[in-house]
Amino acid sequence: MFRKIIPQPLWSLFRNIRNNFRRIVYSGEGRLCPVCNKTSKRFVKFHSREEAVCIHCLSLERHRFVWYFFKEKTNLFKKENIKMLHVAPEKPFENQLKELVGKSYITADLFNPDAMVKMDITNIQYPDESFNVIYCGHVLEHVPDDKKAMSELLRVLKKDGWAVLMVPVNSDKTIEDPTLNNPKERLRLFGQEDHVRSYGPDFKDRLENTGFKVKVITPRDILTDEEIIRMGITKGAGDIFFCTKN
């Protein structure tokens, strides 16, 4: 609420003061953020999640999970000549990916003016098989025609490429109502005013019906309990849907 009424310069000043204060208060060694590789006493509370935000790079649980996965379980850090599409780029690691991939790293968003390309993911302006890697995190729950978006992401992915798609999975089964425009009802049903559905585990089925081959990866599939706690890759991280072409 305060963010909406405070002018941007004052908000930026407040945010910088707050973040510097947090770095002092939370200074320590108990937690390690794999994104910025810095330690802290603990992570900062975000909404109802007790340890969610890194005090240094402001990464959330899902950012730390996917970054660890990129680094330890994919060829992104090892393979040269990768062309990568990052949909709705996240600040915690946008600059690192830009440095890592180089000129072949493209950020895209329909509304964010800081993105390199203005893009509607239901109508992607690139030719078939343009990208080796696609990362799209917490976007599809905002897209009315998510099946069309999935189809477009599949189309522009190279035959030997891979995509990481992440969404919040908050329901036993996906629920949606394309006629629902009331923000309060969307908040009640879907968890956020600008969400158009709440996904269930059947998100995997939707991806596979589009033509993807999908492997669901949970934090415990690749991390020990101790690592999960130390890196703050807890419940808020969600699952990684690792997609390749059939």
Q: For 101-126, how does the pLDDT look when each residue is reduced to its tens digit (9 = 90+)?
A: 999 999 999 999 999 999 999 999 99
Q: How far is residue 52's CA from residue 65's CA, in Å, rounded to a whole number?
A: 12
Q: How far is residue 35's CA from residue 43's CA, in Å, rounded to a whole number?
A: 13
pLDDT value at residue 207: 98
Task: State both tokens at 187.
Answer: 């908040």
pLDDT value at residue 2: 44
Q: Which domains are seen in the chain, by residue range?
A: 1-58 (no CATH), 60-245 (3.40.50.150)
Q: How far is residue 210's CA from residue 150's CA, in Å, rounded to a whole number?
A: 7
Distance set, CA 114 to CA 75, 88, 107, 109, 216 (Å): 27, 10, 9, 9, 31
Continuous segment of H or E residues that includes residue 62: helix 61-73
Q: For 167-179, how does the pLDDT look when each residue is reduced to its tens digit (9 = 90+)?
A: 999 999 999 987 8
Beta bridge partners of 157: 131
Share of the chain above pLDDT 90, in %: 72
pLDDT value at residue 145: 95
Distance of CA 17 to the CA centre of its chain: 26
Q: How far is residue 118's CA from residue 125's CA, in Å, rounded to a whole number?
A: 10
Q: How far is residue 151's CA from residue 206's CA, in Å, rounded to a whole number?
A: 10
Q: How far is residue 113's CA from residue 119's CA, in Å, rounded to a whole number?
A: 11
Q: For 42-74, how does the pLDDT look when each residue is reduced to its tens digit (9 = 90+)?
A: 998 888 898 999 999 999 999 999 999 999 999
**Pick from 8-12, 102-106, 143-147, 168-172: least confident:** 8-12
Distance set, CA 133 to CA 13, 54, 174 (Å): 36, 26, 26
What number is the average pLDDT over the span 17-24?
69
